[in-house]
A and B are shown apart, each in its own frame.
Chain A
Amino acid sequence: MKHWFPAPWLSLALFAAWLLLQGSVAPGHLLLGALAGWLLPVLTAPLRPRAGPLRRPGVLVRLVFTVGLDVVVSAAEVARGVLSGRRRPPRPAFVVIPLELRDPQALAALAVITTIVPGTVWTELAPDRSALLLHVFDLPHEGDFIRHYKERYERPLLEIFE
């Protein structure tokens, strides 16, 4: 089972994506989608770090909505920063975030979150994964930002992946 379906969630996602792209649940597409969902995870298994189980689906759903909301709010803030220009210039800065997260899948998820929320750019991960260097578009208070970032994104990921 583990050998033939190394990543069942990935298989399911690929199957669903195939059907969505085709916009059809005709038997032929079900078959091709099942083939893609089975074959691609098997072929790419050596490239992926070993996946642990996903815990706390409720936390995962809440995290998705938190990030969605943050994207909207931060996009508005960055847009205001761009347009206000010289009157009230943003205060860009680098921030080092100490990390408790170690799981590679969870760090990948954190990279996705950091990238899609405007105003934060993932710059560098420490070689031992103990800290993360971010560039922040507007940073009024470093301590508040670090607390906010860890509380809002890292803690849910810790609950889900570790």
Chain B
Amino acid sequence: MTPVADAIVAVLLLGSGLLVLVAAVGLLRLPDFFSRMHAPSIASTLGTWLAALATAIHFTAHQGAPMLSAWLVAVVLSVTAPVTTAFLARASAFRRRAGGDEDAPPPFA
């Protein structure tokens, strides 16, 4: 049972690592601020979920009792991320409007 679990854990962690790598590449390659905001969200959502799943499977297989607390990481990240994301996005939108940038999003009346 344990070798199978270890293989699954390895695949999940590899997938999670690849997603973080793609997120980092996106941060480097994408052309502007708003596009770059999308790249790290791959790492902080699916990347974290795969790592949490791997943690849960690993400790469940090795300790024989279901281990669910890793999911709290995913839940707490999901609930807190919108605060910082909305702050960053809104600050950038205000800066662009104030600077007369033609790419600035249209303001609400």
Task: Give residues in A with beta carbon < 8 Å to B.
Answer: 17, 20-21, 23, 71-72, 75, 78-79, 82-83, 85, 90, 92, 94, 96, 108, 111-112, 114-119, 121-124, 126-127, 131, 133, 135, 137
Contacts and interface: CB of A to CB of B under 8 A. Distances in A.
Interface residues of B, number: 35
Interface of A is mostly: mixed
B2 interface: no
B72 A17 contact: yes
Nearest to B24: A82
Contact of B85 (A71, A92, A121): A121
Contacts of B22: 79, 82-83
B42 interface: yes
B93 A133 contact: yes
A75 B37 contact: no
A116 B81 contact: yes
A137 B35 contact: yes
B26 to A, nearest CB: 4
Given A123-B86, A133-B105, A20 B30 contact: no
Contacts of B38: 78, 118-119, 121, 135, 137
Nearest to B69: A20
Contacts of A94: 34, 105-106
Given A82-B30, A123-B105, A124-B105, A118 B86 contact: no
20 contacts: A20-B68, A20-B69, A78-B41, A82-B26, A82-B29, A82-B30, A83-B22, A96-B106, A108-B82, A114-B82, A116-B81, A118-B41, A118-B46, A121-B85, A122-B86, A122-B89, A123-B34, A126-B108, A127-B108, A133-B108
Contacts of B26: 78-79, 82
Nearest to B48: A116
A91 to B, nearest CB: 10
